[in-house]
Chains A and B, each alone.
Chain A
Amino acid sequence: MSTNISATSSKRWPTIQFNVNGKTRMVKVPPMKRLLDVLREDLHLTGTKEGCGEGECGSCSVRMNGELVNSCLVPVMQAERADIQTVEGLALDGELHPLQEAFLCHGGAQCGICTPGMLMAAAQLLEHSPHPSMAEIREAVAGNLCRCTGFIRIFESVAATVAPQNASPATKLTTEQTDHAR
């Protein structure tokens, strides 16, 4: 396949329009391009991660029209006119989403690579089941692999989100509170 052929075919690529984190976005890309790659490469939303590329690990989980999907398995043409939420759309007005705050206080994130997908799976659960049992929490994140935590603190973080009396009394954390040198 030479560069010329790609250049010719790029003119035939359709424009695909969808909504990401409340904003209308248009991309002109191969229709079979993975939604994951469109988010990361074309829209520069690199919060969504690739772990396996075959729908096993859930690191690329995003919410699409109210469903949790593995964005590595979604050709972008299927996202035409869809409503998509990624990890970048969780925090609102500079304030951490309650799930993000709970993950921070309860050790739900270690290396952080599964965290965006894990947060989306947890957000999906809480939308449909505002007061989930521990069994529901386990099931909700069972499609998201974490190699660091052994999942225990992820369960606790999700549970703490809906049980504010258990949450750490830490001061309200904002997205700007990131005293990190890098």
Chain B
Amino acid sequence: MSTPTTTRIVGASVPRKEGVDKLLGRACYVDDIDRDGMWHGATVRSSIPRGLIRSIAFDRRIDWTEFTIVTAADIPGENCIQLIVADQPCLADGKVNHCEEAILLLAHPDKHKLREAVGAVQIEYESLPPIFTIEESERQDVVVWGADNLLKSFLLEKGDVDSAWARAAHIIEGEYRTGAQEHLYIENQGVIAEYSAKAGVTVWGSLQCPYYVFKALRPVFDLPEDKVRVIQAETGGAFGGKEDYPSTLACHAALLAMKSGHPVKMVYDRMEDLAATTKRHPSRVRHRTAVDHDGKLLAMEIDLATDGGAYATLSSTVLSRATLHATGPYLCPNIRLHARSWATNYVPYGAFRGFGAPQAIFAMERHMDEIAAAIGIDPVELRRINFLHVGDTNATEQLMREPVILDQLLDHALKESDYHARRAQFARENPASPVKRGMGIAAFYHGSGFTGSGEVYLNSLAGVDVTPEGNVRVLVSNTEFGQGTNTILTQIAAEALGIDYANVTMAAPDTGVVPNSGPTVASRTSMVIGRIIERACMQLLALLRKDTGLGATFTPDEFFAACEHYRAEHGEVRSLCRYEAPPGIYWDDQRYHGEAYGAYAWAVYVAQVAVDTVTYSAEVEDFWAVQEVGRVLHPVLAAGQIEGGIAQGVGYALYEKVVWQDGRMANNQMTNYIMPTAEDVPPIHVFFEEIPFQFGGFGAKGLGELPHDGPAPAILNAIRDATGVAFNSIPLLPEDLYLGLAAAQPAEETAAR
């Protein structure tokens, strides 16, 4: 562990920048905003998963003259939500491809009148056959997207897999599945839109990526850049769920605003949010692995499939990240990985913390325990002998140049969790107890920032300015939604400029004010944007020194006096920088070969789980999380990210099941979609090893998504340790445990119970 450079503010747990507003209840979320003359909007949605719209009728019991009604015919520009592939309409026009697809919009001054009105729009359909599984989509008997249902595929190859099987001492196969997962941010999706011929479209919203919404609005309204403005309101949780969906919602509200001549607020209630917005992609991953007598990996063949839902949305990039995390933090000379995302007639799946990595890592880390069991070695030792080290290459043949301290993380996790002693204790106690306990482990990495050349294409622009009132403002489009963007970026700026944390604020997250520094996703904010802010601050100091004679050391008063001097000469005090790739980054997007990520965060997680063989409930009793995420910029926020991600991972493994009925989410309420409560989370022990990453903001790497990757495999590995039964599918609910344990018992024992 290297010693970080001495810093005043970075590394200290300063108060959250917007914390006081949140604690006083005066932080302004979108539903707290009221505009003069504001109306409310609602959405009429498809009740079938696939079909043609034959007629739309309006029940005469409603006085429709009071309402503004918008259909696809009212769209002034293109009827398309721009993201990666232009396949998703803003409003269905003639056909629908999933339940809850938006067909028609209503606005009225009284929001309490909308529910009845939505129910009074009668739509007749001619049904077409839907498909609901990866397997149906693969068969292509029914084609629901493109020519073949295939949203995206990748083939990644390293070495020579085909010749490796003959040399294998063991070949182990397994199939692993993960289910859909709801983000369940506590603030539902919502926006307010205004329209005027002069100013164009203005949107306030609960969202992660103001410039994504900006990019989506322009073609729908056929407006130039200066006629579209997007402002993020305080955002009550997102987790990826507010990466792409707000683009659709913003277009809807803005269409209603344009036609009604009023500002229009659209805030979903929980049932609509759960039914109609994106979820984590379900996955099916098949592993075939060759190992030698000692358990060294010789070859891996992986077939990875995700269910993408009805439109392409972000499925290609989620699949990319799944692909790049599917082989784990292990050295394997021969790899063939075929990844495909398939269309079905569900609501499109989208971004969710981890973005494909949790699915792929669940399969890999579950499979490692099956390999260990098959060849009779300790799962810890199997991992240890296969870990990547500096100088090795991973699946894309990226050379590990930065320190890799997996052995150290593993040792730390084993020690803190007292892993071996507890495992031995449970092995003694379990036979005589109806409660079976076990220990499970997961080792993994998570790539920080956009994949491959993604950051170069984004070409993020960010920086700082100094207002005449003496505020330093951080200028970014990266947003705060709980994870700490405001705090971290102002810490970095204050540290780099040598001024107080209190002197630095965030500029409003408003596309009319801040430059495009890319989306707030992919664990990129601290590492990538933090570094740009650090550089912009150094650039500002250099300018002040050159133009105003600011000294090598200075007081805050001298700094601000120099800024005023500079302003008098140049009109403004502003310093912006663009992203600069670390040297030696090479990526081949066709072959999926090269430097997949600028940096990786590394982790080893351990779960202690108790399985009650009377009630068939599984409870995570204790959890240890050891990780290396570069420099920790704010210990309290960092630990909070890890703990929150682990709680979501516990839910992913044991609680959270999306129940589908004919393509609709049947349990779209908090009453029956169950997330972990305060009584369900285990004690979580968080440890950081710090190795500053020289190309990250003050040494940071990404950490926001990492903690969602490890819990599910660690928990299911612990259940295998406790019961001796391999469960390869999540979520694992008590009924699944019952079926699996009953099937594994000898027949006479089952009968005796």
Interface residues of A (CB under 8 A from B): 1-3, 6, 40, 45-54, 56-57, 59, 86-88, 90-91, 96, 100, 103-107, 109-116, 119, 138-139, 141-155, 168, 170, 173, 175, 177-182
Q: Is B520 an interface residue (CB 8 A)?
A: no
Q: How far, in Å, is A88 (CB) from chain B's closest CB?
A: 5
Q: Contacts A53-B269, A107-B636, A109-B16; is A151 near B483 (CB within 8 Å)?
A: no
CB–CB A148/B26 < 8 A: no
**B24 & A87 in contact (Cβ 8 Å cutoff):** yes
Decide: A88 and B25 in contact? CB cutoff 8 A.
yes
Confirm or deny: B5 has a beta carbon within 8 angstroms of a beta carbon on chain A: no
Chain B contacts for A54, CB-based, 8 A: 270, 669-671
Contacts A88-B24, A150-B646 hold; do A142 and B677 have CB atoms under 8 A apart? yes
In the bound complex, CA of A112 to CA of B186 (Å): 9
Which A residue's beta carbon lies closest to that of B187? A113
Known contacts: A149-B644, A181-B507, A182-B28. The answer to whether A104 contacts B187 by CB under 8 A is no
The answer to whether A139 touches B679 (Cβ under 8 A) is: yes
B32 at the interface (CB under 8 A from A): yes
* Pairs A–B under 8 Å by Cβ, sample size 12: A6-B110, A46-B32, A88-B26, A112-B22, A112-B27, A114-B236, A115-B22, A115-B23, A149-B647, A152-B643, A152-B684, A178-B18
Q: In the assembly, what is the distance between CA of A114 and CA of B237, in Å?
A: 10
- A111 in contact with B17 given A3-B66, A53-B269, A148-B482 (CB within 8 Å): no
- Which residues of A sit under 8 angstroms from B27, Cβ to Cβ? 112
Q: Give bound CA distance, A96 to B25, whole Å.
A: 12
Cβ-defined partner of B186 (8 Å) among A59, A155, A168? A59
How far is A86 from B32 in the complex, measured between Cα atoms in Å?
15
**A51 and B186 within 8 A (CB):** yes
Chain B residue contacts of A3, Cβ below 8 A = 66, 110
Q: Are A47 and B26 CB-contacts (below 8 A) given A6-B110, A112-B234?
A: yes
Q: Which 7 A-B pairs have the closest CB atoms?
A: A47-B25, A113-B236, A111-B482, A112-B22, A150-B647, A110-B482, A87-B25
**Looking at the complex, which one of A45, A53, A180 makes contact with B270 (CB distance below 8 Å)?**
A53
| Contact call A106/B636, Cβ cutoff below 8 A | yes
Known: A87-B25, A112-B22, A151-B678. A168 touches B13 (CB 8 A): yes
**B185 beta carbon closer than 8 Å to chain A:** yes
Assuming the contacts A87-B24, A110-B483, A142-B678, asked whether A179 and B684 have C-beta atoms less than 8 A apart, the reply is no
Give the contacts of B670-692 with A (CB-CB under 8 A): 670-671, 675-679, 681, 683-684
| Cβ of B239 under 8 Å from chain A | yes
A181→B514 CA distance, assembly (Å): 13
B236 with A175: CB separation less than 8 A: no
B311 CB-CB contact with A under 8 Å: no
A50, A110, A116, A182: the one contacting B508 at CB < 8 Å is: A182
Smallest CB separation, A86 vs chain B (Å)? 7
For residue B637, which residue of chain A has the nearest CB? A107
State the Cβ distance, A122 to closest chain B Cβ, in Å: 11
Contact string, B467-497, partner A, CB cutoff 8 A, digits 1/0? 0000101000000011110100000000000
Binary CB contact string for chain B from 607 to 641 against chain A (1 if under 8 A, 0 otherwise): 00000000000000000000000000000110110
B24–A111 touching, CB < 8 Å:
no
For residue B434, CB closer than 8 A to chain A, the reply is: no
In the assembly, what is the distance between CA of A104 and CA of B27, in Å? 14
| A residues less than 8 Å from B21 (CB atoms) | 112, 178, 180
CB distance from B541 to the nearest CB of A (A): 21
For the complex, give the distance between the alpha carbons of A119 and B19 in Å: 13
Interface positions, chain B 639-667, Cβ under 8 Å from A, are: 639-640, 643-648
Contact A153 B20 (CB under 8 A): no
Q: Nearest chain-B residue to A45 (Cβ)? A: B25
Assess the B187–A51 pair: CB atoms within 8 A: yes
Contact A96 B23 (CB under 8 A): yes
Report if B116 contacts A (CB, 8 A): yes
Q: Which residues of B contact A142 (CB under 8 A)?
A: 677-679
CA distance A122 to B482 in the complex (A): 20
Please state if A104 and B16 are interface contacts (CB–CB under 8 Å): yes
Contacts of B637 in A (CB 8 A): 107
B505 at interface, CB cutoff 8 A: yes
In the complex, which residues of chain B have a beta carbon less than 8 angstroms from the beta carbon of A105? Answer: 13, 15, 636
Residues from chain A with Cβ under 8 Å of B184 in the complex: 145, 147
Q: Are the C-beta atoms of A180 and B235 separated by less than 8 Å?
A: no
Report how far A54 CA is from B188 CA in the complex, Å.
Answer: 14
Given A149-B643, A154-B678, 11 extra CB contacts under 8 A: A1-B116, A3-B66, A52-B270, A96-B23, A110-B484, A111-B236, A112-B18, A115-B25, A138-B679, A148-B482, A178-B20
In B160-196, the 8 Å CB interface with A consists of: 183-188
With a 10 A CB-CB cut-off, give which of A1, A47, A107, A144 has the most chain B CB atoms: A107
Is A145 in contact with B22, judged by CB distance below 8 angstroms?
no
Residue B113 is within 8 A (CB to CB) of chain A in the complex: yes
Residues A150 and B681 in contact in the complex (CB < 8 Å), given A49-B236, A112-B482, A181-B506: yes
The reply on B377 being an interface residue by CB < 8 A is: no
Do the beta carbons of B507 and A146 come within 8 Å of each other? no
Distance A55 CA – B286 CA, assembled complex (angstroms) = 41
Instruction: Indicate with 1 or 0, residue by residue over B226-241, a CB within 8 angstroms of chain A CB atoms.
Output: 0000000011111100
Contacts of B505 in A (CB 8 A): 179-181
Asked if B502 is at the interface (CB within 8 A of a chain A CB), the reply is yes
Q: How near does chain B come to A38, taking the closest CB pair, in angstroms?
A: 13
Which partner residue on chain B sits nearest A91 by CB separation? B24
B24–A175 CB distance below 8 A: yes
Residues on A with C-beta less than 8 A from B507 are 181
Contacts of B113 in A (CB 8 A): 1
A179 touches B17 (CB 8 A): yes
Q: Is B369 an interface position by the 8 A CB rule? A: no
B444 CB–A CB distance under 8 Å: no
Identify B644's interface contact among A50, A147, A168, CB under 8 A: A147
Q: Looking at the assembled complex, report how far the CB atom of A85 sits from the nearest CB atom of chain B, in whole angstroms.
A: 12
CB neighbours (8 Å) of A112 from chain B are 18, 21-23, 27, 234, 236, 482
Chain A CB within 8 A of B63 CB? yes
Nearest chain B CB to A13's CB is how many angstroms away?
Answer: 14
Closest to B239 in A: A147
CB distance from A66 to the nearest CB of B (A): 20
Residues of A within 8 A of B19 (CB): 103-104, 109
Q: Given that A112-B22, A147-B644, A150-B647 are contacting pairs, would A181 and B471 also be in contact in the complex, using a CB cutoff of 8 Å? A: yes
Query: Who on chain B is nearest to A41 by CB?
Result: B34
The minimal Cβ–Cβ distance linking A22 to chain B, given in whole angstroms, is 16
B157 at the interface (CB under 8 A from A): no
Write out the residue numbers on chain B whose beta carbons fall within 8 Å of the beta carbon of A170: 15
Residue of chain A at shortest CB distance from B22 = A112
Which B residues lie within 8 Å of A88 (CB)? Answer: 24-26
Residues on A with C-beta less than 8 A from B238 are 111
Residue of A nearest to B62 (CB): A1
Note all chain B residues with C-beta closer than 8 A to A56. Answer: 669-671
The docked-state distance in angstroms from the alpha carbon of A179 to that of B29 is 18
Tell me if B301 is interfacial: C-beta within 8 Å of chain A.
no
Determine whether B101 belongs to the interface, using a CB cutoff of 8 Å to chain A. Answer: no
